[in-house]
Amino acid sequence: MTITPPIGTYLAGYDARTDPARGVHDELDARCLVLDDPSGAVVILAVDVLQLPTAFANAVRAAIAQTTGIPRERILACATHTHSAPDLEGTYTPGGPDRSLTEMWRRALAGCAEAAWRGRVDADVEFGLGTVDGVGVNRRHPDGHPVDPLVGVVSARLRGGERACVLVNYTCHPVVLGPDNLCISADYPGFARRAIEAVEGPRTLAMFTNGAEGDVNTGHSADLSGIGAPIPGRTFARARRLGHRLAGEVIKVLAGPMVGLSGPIAATACEVFLPFRETPPPAAAEAALAAADREVGRLVALGADPNAATAAKIRRFHAAVHLGVARRRAAATAPGVTAELQTVRVGDLALVGIPGELFVELGLAVKARSPFLHTLVLGLANGSVGYLPTREACESGGYEAVATQFALGAGEMVQNACLEMLQSLKEGHV
């Protein structure tokens, strides 16, 4: 289902981008896969958006549950995380969120799932794994590692041999397009989907889900993006190349032997409490931002070395992010956030839904220690609580450590809760 908003909509993902969309490069979509057998049904919804606000995601899931009768804990709604899609939360929009847009999207997403539910057909569900290099890069480390190179592919094949749906799971921020882009776009996942559909045929629907992509992107500095510095290679041509590289591996997996998924369809959800980190009072954070802003002005006025000016602008950017965290912390009525985690089982395959940006190291640990033969992590699922870094990343600093609202060890808490859920699902305690 096409869900492209009108030109003039403000886009989400970059503080340095202040103007609204001026064009549409490629359409945004919502794609839905419903799996149903005598043990029950599950809904997997993938949406071209930066993130689904938690309240919005809950409203969508409630609407789907009402029209389909599928329990809420069996409905997983996730964002592809493109940074060239509308701002549903209102963080980047003057005056706050566009209520008419969010209501239109709520109805559209619920309708997309209802249409998938009503259009169910007999199919064989298969799973395969591929490996792709040259797309995801760990932006925090000079060598670009660790990353998760695995591409998970779920295929629903009609009994006549034709594929009805291909679900792709890959771990990487869709940020080929930077803050200077003012065109609506699904970024590299959109190019990947369209390439898969072109090869598989007009009746095949391809959908993209992201993974534990908190520290993995397409090779760009988060700090330079934050200050709007020009970065070579942030073009639609490169987004197409990377999308086609991913699609090529998916097509290769589809052409080879895949594993049939049979057995129970089940799902479960749990809540984990994530405590906030300590922050200074907003007034102190405001003073730090003002000081950082004065330092930038001083260096620019002096015509300082560009590297020194860039470093000062990054410090100002971090100070602004820190102020945002301090203000949210001061306005909070609880000492933390209760995050909903979700697991879905389809035979020997488990899907783990996490409402945030888990670091890849933690996602890899969930996959490695899962009791299931195959496990995929779906990030930005059923809402978003922001970055979930490793303890080590928080201690070493950097953008994500500044931006996270949680105390040291929150990422590991999510990892451990996911593993407990997976074990319970494996043992049938749902």
Q: How far apart are CA 217 and CA 234, in angstroms?
A: 12
For residue range 94-142, list pLDDT tens digits in order.
999 999 999 999 999 999 999 999 999 999 999 999 999 999 999 999 9
Per-residue pLDDT band at 428 (split at 50, 70, 90): confident
End-to-end CA distance of the chain: 32
Distances in whole angstroms, Cα of residue 340 to Cα of each of 114, 130, 329, 373, 384: 23, 29, 20, 24, 10
DSSP code, position 144? -
Q: What is the pLDDT of residue 411?
A: 98
DSSP letters, 65-99, are: HHHH---GGGEEEEE---SSSB-SSSTTSTTS--H
Query: What would the mean pLDDT of 221-246 be, rounded to a whole number?
Result: 96
Query: What would the mean pLDDT of 34-61 be, rounded to a whole number?
Result: 96
Q: What is the pLDDT of residue 39?
A: 87
Reply yes or no on whether the pLDDT at 429 is more than 90: no
Q: What is the pLDDT of residue 176?
A: 98
For residue 369, give the 3-state DSSP assignment.
Answer: helix
Distances in whole angstroms, Cα of residue 165 to Cα of each of 189, 208, 215, 253: 15, 11, 29, 14
